[in-house]
Structure 1
Amino acid sequence: MTVPIDGWVDPRFAAVREAFVGNFTDRGEVGGAVHVVHRGEVVVDLVGGWADEERTRPWTHDTIVDVYSVGKAILAVLALQLVDDGVLALDQPVAEVWPDFAAGGKAGATVEHALTHRAGVPAIREPLTDADLFSWATMTAALAATETWWVPGERLAYHTNTFGHLVGEIVHRATGQMPGERLRAVTGPLGADVWFGVPDAEQHRCADIIWDPGSPLPPLDSFSGLEGDLLMNALSLFNPPGYSSIGLVNTPAWRAAEIGSTSGHASASGIARLYAALLEPHRLLSPTLLARATAPRVTARCPILGDEVTYGVGFQPTTARRPLGPNGRSFGHYGSGGALGFADPDAGIAFGYAMNHLIPRWQSTRNRALIEAVYASLA
């Protein structure tokens, strides 16, 4: 079957088209898109493959897909804008805007702790169901009541799923608006197709995630013999059972959920447009705050990811283990399976990549091939 490829590439960036086609012919891509902006000009806008596993729906420029943790940095932008506006401060206790969050030893957790995965709540202790997952009030109340897993600020552990409810509720408490509403106010003027909570009228545009997670979901009572980091890790992924999207990802309820850490949907062009706007001084954030947020803030071995990781304030700075091109000021965020958004202030690059065939790592041969082709085109 011939793979449909559509879009446009500036002749200088022909290598990106070659890499994109190679993702389908050589690297197992099913459907996806890549979009690159260079110094304010679109130079790559490609879509290809299929939006479903049966290969009956071609991926189009209107297709959106779950981009998982790519959404974390986008959610962080909403909180950082409130810092720029003086509504929040990075050193402000979360409990000042969300009083219930002080329970369980979390009174000292700050907004910066939340944005750097050091708030101490990567997992909720109270057993929850998937019905609970779709109640924002239930999830945030359970998170607020959870006893901290460590003194906030003293450790780093990736808040794989809780980041969405933690930072999302900080935004909600500070503004009275849910994350999806706040995001639309940002993306609307940019024409960026990025959503926390896909409306019913837009869900026909969603590509299906293709993912075999392997073994079935473990029942929560099977965790009773675990303790410490092992229990924390298990609950971070599977409490509620579908918190990581397993068994739910292609359902209308999941697509409508406003869990910015995990269920955000976007097109590659939407991601790139948002990062391009971040490179424009004062368009989304002040240069001073953006520089602080995108510089390395904490480096530590993460018990959730099982690796040494580096975080800025809401963003992943480029590192040797997770490079975002060759320049040291690049920043962005990977998502499960390889989805990616990043910006490189030195090269003037904003990059978005979204796809539906998940593989087990953030980095992949696919996104590496695209990034390498972008920078080869600049040489």
Structure 2
Amino acid sequence: MAEVHGRCDERFAAVREALGQQLDGEELGASVAVDLDGETVVDLWGGYRDEARTQPWSEHTIVNVWSTTKCVLALAALVLVERGELDLYAPVGDYWPEFCAKGKSQIEVRHLLAHTSGVSGWEQPFSIRDMYDWPSATERLAQQRPWWEPGTASGYHANNQGHLVGEIIRRIRNQTLRRFIATEIAEPLGADFQLGARESEITRIAPVVPPPPPDVDPRTLDPESVAVKTFTGPTASAKAANTPEWRAAELGALNGHSNARGVMSVLRVLSLGGEVNGVRLLSPETIELIFDQQSDGVDLVLGAPFRWGMGFCLGSPTVPYVPSGRTFFWGGWGGSLAVMDLDRRLTITYMMNKMGGGLIGSSRSEAYVRAVYDALG
């Protein structure tokens, strides 16, 4: 079996075994972390940073975590709620007046967090490089019309949720989303997480390996559907994530850089009632807002049923291995995943460089999450 590094409590030996098995199979390089009731009970890594398998994945390797970034974005919004600076039920226009254009005055902050705003992508033509220009990209979103009636259904805000929520945070705090996450979340929690990647960190990054091509022929899809407009505004590119321009950009939905330990060190504050090691970011009452269900049905972009709360998925048959109850989760393109379980005061995170197919999670994600819950009994 492949060599696995790090530590885990004997109770969770099956997680180590699962990672070893996956490293012998589909996995290239990966890390898995678990916090239970404030104690790190799993902190494992293994495999390689590169496809040639010449550079081992080390304790300090980080990777682009794709939409797992959105979990930290949601936490950032909740921190402002906690401080009385943001009302999730207020119109976006209260903080960002220009956003009211083109019939969007009734869109509330909660609609952005729950993917129900009707603004799930940019109108074409729009490229990945256009995302890097924050002022222009947010101005274009402010000038768009919704693609469906806000609040009536979810349509996953795949690429632009970070710009939408991030612009609100920027307007409130007069600082970039990147700076807010660094100074108000990552640094107080002592977490190895950054939005984008500082130039000094480049040598730690494992390049992402693109997933297999999708089964669907894009030529058979309706170009006017919400899904097609979202996924082509802009069209995602795994190769782009390995460029200096991507790493230098501020993409609040897409380009967090970390590993399982780093993401766990941020998100366990949610599972632990808002406080970690004497640092309190949230009250239990603010965390409870996550469970205010905003939609439950087939997502217009993802094409499968998802139940959305404030910033997190509350359940989906596409991810049956995350148990029901007071749990919420989300992950990134290719399979990275973060699960927060309030009943068990449990946080599970998994980050990797070789991307799998599918909507959310992967068979590898499932193996690790099931191993954790099986150990808990």
Regarding TM over 0.5, the answer is: yes
Aligned residue for 1:147, secondary structure, equals: coil
What one-letter code is carried by the residue in structure 2 that aligns with 1:162? N
**Hey, what does 1:287 align to over in structure 2?**
284
**Hey, what does 1:250 align to over in structure 2?**
242
Aligned residue for 1:259, secondary structure, equals: coil
Measure the CA separation in 1 of the matches of 2:329 and 2:32. Answer: 15
Answering whether residue 260 of structure 2 is matched by residue 275 of structure 1, we say no
**Hey, what does 1:340 align to over in structure 2?**
337
Aligned residue for 2:239, secondary structure, equals: coil
Measure the CA separation in 1 of the matches of 2:36 and 2:158. Answer: 31
Measure the CA separation in 2 of the matches of 1:83 and 1:247. Answer: 36
Aligned-pair CA distance for 1:327: 4.8
* Match among 323, 328, 331 for residue 326 of structure 1: 323
**Equivalent residue runs for 1:64-143 within 5 Å:** 64-143=62-141
**Equivalent residue runs for 1:1-379 within 5 Å:** 3-26=2-25, 28-185=26-183, 186-212=185-211, 214=213, 228-229=224-225, 232-241=226-235, 244-282=236-274, 283-323=280-320, 325-361=322-358, 362-379=360-377
**TM-score, length-scaled by structure 1:** 0.91
Structure 2 residue ranges without an equivalent (≥5): 275-279
State the number of aligned residues.
Answer: 368
Q: 1:324, 1:331 within 8 Å by CA — same for their partners in 2?
A: no
Measure the CA separation in 2 of the matches of 1:226 and 1:131. Answer: 25
Measure the CA separation in 2 of the matches of 1:172 and 1:298. Answer: 27
Measure the CA separation in 2 of the matches of 1:10 and 1:226. Answer: 51
Aligned-pair CA distance for 1:324: 5.5
Aligned residue for 1:113, secondary structure, equals: helix
Measure the CA separation in 2 of the matches of 1:260 and 1:87. Answer: 19
Aligned-pair CA distance for 1:115: 0.6
What one-letter code is carried by the residue in structure 1 that aligns with 2:349? G
Q: Flag the 1:267–1:69 CA change in 2: closer, same or farther, 3 A.
A: same
Aligned-pair CA distance for 1:97: 1.0
Measure the CA separation in 2 of the matches of 1:154 and 1:368. Answer: 31
Aligned-pair CA distance for 1:37: 0.9
Q: 1:17, 1:46 within 8 Å by CA — same for their partners in 2?
A: yes
Q: 1:297, 1:311 within 8 Å by CA — same for their partners in 2?
A: yes
Q: 1:184, 1:195 within 8 Å by CA — same for their partners in 2?
A: yes
Measure the CA separation in 2 of the matches of 1:193 and 1:23. Answer: 25
Q: 1:118, 1:155 within 8 Å by CA — same for their partners in 2?
A: yes
Measure the CA separation in 1 of the matches of 2:212 and 2:95. Answer: 37
Aligned-pair CA distance for 1:321: 3.5
Measure the CA separation in 2 of the matches of 1:285 and 1:103. Answer: 33
What one-letter code is carried by the residue in structure 2 that aligns with 1:14? A
Q: 1:67, 1:354 within 8 Å by CA — same for their partners in 2?
A: yes
Q: 1:122, 1:160 within 8 Å by CA — same for their partners in 2?
A: yes
Aligned residue for 2:45, secondary structure, equals: strand
Q: 1:8, 1:46 within 8 Å by CA — same for their partners in 2?
A: yes
What one-letter code is carried by the residue in structure 2 that aligns with 1:138? S
Aligned residue for 2:334, secondary structure, equals: helix
Q: Flag the 1:73–1:280 CA change in 2: closer, same or farther, 3 A.
A: same
Q: Flag the 1:292–1:302 CA change in 2: closer, same or farther, 3 A.
A: same
Aligned-pair CA distance for 1:56: 1.4
Q: Flag the 1:79–1:6 CA change in 2: closer, same or farther, 3 A.
A: same
Aligned-pair CA distance for 1:69: 1.2
Measure the CA separation in 1 of the matches of 2:130 and 2:252. Answer: 17
What one-letter code is carried by the residue in structure 2 that aligns with 1:266? S
- 1:275-312 CA distance string (max 9 Å, x none): 22223334222211212213533102112111111111
Measure the CA separation in 2 of the matches of 1:294 and 1:259. Answer: 26
Measure the CA separation in 2 of the matches of 1:292 and 1:212. Answer: 34
Q: 2:308, 2:315 within 8 Å by CA — same for their partners in 1?
A: no
Measure the CA separation in 1 of the matches of 2:186 and 2:47. Answer: 26
Measure the CA separation in 2 of the matches of 1:9 and 1:93. Answer: 46
What one-letter code is carried by the residue in structure 1 that aligns with 2:232? F
